[in-house]
Amino acid sequence: MGVSAANRNDHLELEAVVDAVVPVKGPAGRPRRRPRKLHADKGYDYPTCRKALRRRGIIARIARRGIESPKRLGRHRYVIERTLEWVSRFRRLARRYERKAAHFTAFTQLACAVICYRRAIKLDLLTHNNPK
């Protein structure tokens, strides 16, 4: 996660965010250091974004401005939009009250932990809820 000024375009932060992605353990073998594909909306449709992703070996799935409708990426964007909605339900994060980015990041990470915990309870993934 990255924090930047509200008046700064998102596409300018793309490289920093992609470089900050940590490897996720998956199937057997060495974990991927970067995602295989990146789905993004029209706000990232710039040649610099596409080149940066190509240099990192990431397939860019970016809606093109003036050509594609946002519905094609809708199935993939739903996951992102839903998660952002869950985070924005925390009043402290809906409007940023913190002056320091580190404090805001900490509250956002705490909110994500609470969201994951609630989701695990809902899906009955926690062992103390499972009498097996």
**Sequence spans of domains, the chain:** 1-88, 97-132
Cα 91–Cα 10–Cα 44 angle in degrees, nearest 5: 130
pLDDT in tens, the chain (132 residues): 777 777 788 889 889 888 888 877 777 777 777 888 888 888 889 999 999 999 999 999 888 887 766 566 667 777 878 888 888 888 888 788 888 888 988 999 999 999 999 988 888 877 665 555
| Token pair belonging to 112 | 């994500």
**Cβ-Cβ contacts under 8 Å for 33 (sequence gap 6 or more):** 23
Alpha helices in 9-131 (DSSP H): 14-19, 47-55, 71-88, 91-94, 101-122
**Cβ-Cβ contacts under 8 Å for 31 (sequence gap 6 or more):** 23, 24, 25
